[in-house]
Amino acid sequence: MKPEMITLKHGDTTIKMPAASLAKLAVASVFAQVLPPAANVQPATLHPIPELGAVWPGQGGFNGGLVAAGGEVPAHYLIIAAQDAGSHEWGGRGRESQANSKRDGFANTVILMEDDHPAANKATAYTADGHDNFYLPAAAELYHCWLSVPDLFAKDTWYWSSTQRSANNAFNMYFDGGSQYGSCKGIELRVRPVRRLFI
């Protein structure tokens, strides 16, 4: 479920962006050139980027900060759901999973959705502001949250990541001190959905 990417090159400049974003820009550009400006209509303005930890209107949660491009995932903002999705088992105890990316929680979650993994299921079931592309964050994404917006998370509990550690364990995060650990997939830990806002 990775977004289709388009690469544009002009001279020494290369831009890589989701195809859907390029399509929106192209349509807006055509309308701007073809349609005359309407009288008494204010020009559309982009909303400013909210401060770290602030609600991002229309995006389904809080601004979790800018995440640098890595691998095949372009730079994006991490949007953190406004609330936890309860406490659930990671699932699949005793079985190896290919959900072992430390950075790409979206890819991990796609893999986990092919089998019975309650934490990933609850994360993907979360919707807000019309967005239904939430997922269970990877270990590095949870660490990014601890560095950027730790106060958005409870301090008296552990949160599951989507990153497997072994057949019996998966990585989790404790926001009181920033500890990451591997716990038994069969215990119930907190789930906090996130989504990506590509720039």
Whether residues 21 and 85 share a domain: the answer is no
| pLDDT the model gives residue 199 | 83
Whether residues 71 and 138 share a domain: the answer is yes
In angstroms, what CA-CA distances link 152 with 61, 97, 127, 197?
Answer: 11, 29, 18, 18
Whether residues 130 and 72 share a domain: the answer is yes
Range of the domain at 135: 55-198
Over residues 85-110, the mean pLDDT reads: 97
Q: Is residue 47 part of a domain?
A: no
Type of residue found at 85: A
Whether residues 72 and 159 share a domain: the answer is yes
Whether residues 163 and 80 share a domain: the answer is yes
Least confident of 6-15, 73-82, 107-116, 135-144: 6-15
| pLDDT the model gives residue 59 | 97
Q: Is residue 140 part of a domain?
A: yes
Q: Is residue 46 part of a domain?
A: no
User: Which pLDDT band holds residue 116 (cuts at 50, 70, 90)?
Assistant: confident
Over residues 3-29, the mean pLDDT reads: 60
When divided into structural domains, the chain yields a total of: 2
| pLDDT the model gives residue 39 | 41
Say which residue, 116 or 192, is predicted with more confidence.
192
